[in-house]
Amino acid sequence: MSGVKLDPKPAAAREDAGPAADLEGAGPAAAPRPRMRIFPVLATLGMVCVAAVLGWQSWLVYMGAPWTRDAAVRAYVVTIAPEVAGRITALPVRDNQLVRKGDLLMEIDPTNYAIGVRLSEAAVAQAKAVAENAQAESERRQMLDLLAVTVEEKQSYASRAESAQASYQQALANLDNARVNLERTQIRSPVNGYVTNLLAQLGDYANVGQIKISLVDADSFWVDGYFEETNLEAIRDGDPATVKLMGYSQLVRGHVDSISRGINVPNAQPNAYGLASVNPIFTFVRLAQRIPVRIHLDDVPEGVRLVAGITATVQINPKGAPAPSQAAPASP
């Protein structure tokens, strides 16, 4: 029939050609494209390289600028104990108050000590009169010739004068002691500091040597940074240091004041015979010891309150290198 177009290729040939032969007439738009897998591989390699570079730089920074978050603010604490006993009659300070050097902290009842001063003054006056009279008698005997008084008698009067003079000096010493005890009834602050943990109360009886007031010396604050022994080689006295106190965003500037020259070593403890007690177990993995490094504080920003015992992060900056503008990183 004239309307039918015969395929010149046999059916077997068309079956051998497979799916490509069926799509031959579909045009280029229908051809399958290979999947693009190279971009994820390149992205992964790039991220690995960046992480390696950052890790290496962090290691260099850690070794070149040692830091630790194992640090604490330290300060000297002055303990105040009465040197004379008595009842507390004045307590003009309160807990956590800032006091200046010379401020009155506490007063012991001065009545008995004032009486002691007056008694000592009377004893001094009496001893002085006795000594002057004995000295005058001795001088008169010394001027007489041997017909009126013997040598032995002159020596006896001279000895009495010396004894009276010694008694007078003793009375003067007792008076000085009585006056000192009266002054000690008023206990004043030896430093600029903060009253802490005040437990004394008005009317309490204070015994000699019993601690009644403790002061945190306001001029003695420093920071102890406990660095691993593997970092000590990079730390030098005078190196600038940056301190980040927990709870504050401001940075405190300072410098390395000194490095501790000794820590406790358990193996050095002697036993009952004085021999070293050495632990027989030694593991393959050994943790680095931490050594205290004392940081002197040079610049404390306004608003930062130093409190002995609070934790801090410390970074040591090599001399000549710019100090960080942000907080030091957190140590592992």
21 has pLDDT over 70? no
CA 31 from chain centre, in angstroms, equals 77
Mind listing the pLDDT tens digit for each residue in 162-188?
A: 999 999 999 999 999 999 999 999 999
Gap between the Cα atoms of 110 and 116, Å rounded: 10
The count of other CB atoms within 10 Å of the CB of residue 204 is 14
Q: Most confidently modeled of 13-22, 28-37, 38-47, 131-140?
A: 131-140
Task: Give percent of the chain above pLDDT 70.
Answer: 80
Residue 1: pLDDT band (50, 70, 90) is very low
Cα-Cα-Cα-Cα torsion 234, 237, 240, 244, nearest 10 degrees, comes to: 80
For residue 296, the model assigns a pLDDT of 98
Q: Are 293 and 256 in contact (CB under 8 A)?
A: yes
How far apart, in whole angstroms, are the C-alpha atoms of residue 81 and residue 77? 13
The angle at the Cα of 199, spanning 197 to 202, to the nearest 5 degrees, equals 140
Mean pLDDT along residues 25-31: 50
* pLDDT interval class at 65 (50, 70, 90): confident
Phi, psi (degrees; rounded to nearest 5) at 199: -115, -15
Q: Which residue has the higher pLDDT, 219 or 264?
A: 219
Q: Which residues pair with 88 in a beta bridge?
A: 108
- What token pair was written down for 239? 């190196």
Mean pLDDT computed over every residue of the chain: 85
Nearest to 200 by CA among 283, 285, 82, 286: 82
pLDDT of the residue at 32: 55
**Which residue in the block uniquely carries the two structure tokens 């022994």?**
229
Each residue's pLDDT tens digit, 108-157: 999 999 999 999 999 999 999 999 999 998 888 788 766 666 777 878 88
List of domains in the chain: 65-75+219-316 (2.40.30.170), 78-217 (2.40.50.100)
Reduced to 3 states (helix: H, G, I; strand: E, B; else coil), residue 215 is strand
pTM greater than the 0.95 cutoff = no
Q: Do strands 213-217 and 193-196 pair parallel, antiparallel, or not at all (unpaired)?
A: antiparallel
**pLDDT score of 331 more than 80:** no
pLDDT of 185 reads 98
pLDDT computed for residue 218 by the predictor: 97
Name the band, by pLDDT with cuts 50, 70 and 90, for residue 2. Answer: very low
Query: Per-residue pLDDT tens for 199-242?
Result: 999 999 999 999 999 999 999 999 999 999 999 988 999 999 99
Short-list 246, 245, 257, 248, CA closest to 316: 257
Pairwise CA distance, residues 315 & 71, whole Å: 10
- pLDDT attached to residue 264: 87
The model's confidence at residue 19, banded by pLDDT at 50, 70 and 90, is very low
**Per-residue pLDDT tens digits for 74-117:** 999 999 999 999 999 999 999 999 999 999 999 999 999 999 99
CA 141 centroid distance within chain: 71
